[in-house]
Amino acid sequence: MPVVTGSVDIQAPREKVFDFIAAPEKATAFVPGLSRISHVGPAKPEVGRTWEFEFDWFGVVVAGQSRCLRSERPNAYVFETTSGAKSTWSYRFDDQGKGTKVTLSVDFEEPANLLARFAAQGALMKMNEDRGREALTNLKALLE
């Protein structure tokens, strides 16, 4: 599976950054292409929590379910998309001066119809890397 990774320094405490990331309904504010989060439950960010999503992946709309795999406030938050396009999103939060270094790693399966649309895996990978950077930049802007 391809992997996109990146990090950003945010001038906010780890707890604040973790709490924002661990609220799936807030992801539409910073993840490009993510248009809907619904049916989040239970309310507390814990292992086993689930939600539904809808994501526009460069013109291919993917809908599915997500499930929290790891929730260790304020150090790490990991979830997977279990249907639609399968992926695992891993966030790590480290002290960085008076703020937080957020590291994001996304392992994902590329839908065959998306690969066919762009004709080159390298081009699609570059586009996914750009989206990852944009998500981290948006997160920084929202939390500082």
Strand-strand pairing, 3-10 and 87-96: unpaired
Q: pLDDT over 90 for what percent of the chain?
A: 69
pLDDT confidence of residue 118: 53
Distance CA 143, CA 135 (A): 12
* Residues 107 and 1 sit within 8 Å (Cβ to Cβ): yes
pLDDT confidence of residue 110: 67
pLDDT confidence of residue 2: 78
pLDDT confidence of residue 121: 65
Count of domains for the chain: 1
Distance CA 130, CA 75 (A): 25
Between 39 and 121, the more confident residue is: 39
Taking the model in full, what pTM does it have?
A: 0.89
pLDDT digits (tens, 9 = 90+) for 65-123: 999 999 999 999 999 999 877 899 999 999 999 999 999 999 987 666 555 555 556 66
Phi, psi values for residue 122, rounded to 5°: -60, -40
Q: What would the mean pLDDT of 2-31 be, rounded to a whole number?
A: 95
Q: What is the crossing angle of helices 14-21 and 121-143, to 10°?
A: 120
Quote the mean pLDDT of the chain. Answer: 89
CA nearest 133: which of 31, 46, 27, 28? 31
- For residue 87, give the CATH number of its domain: 3.30.530.20
Supply 79's token pair.
Answer: 């979830």
pLDDT confidence of residue 120: 59
- The whole domain housing 7 covers 3-143
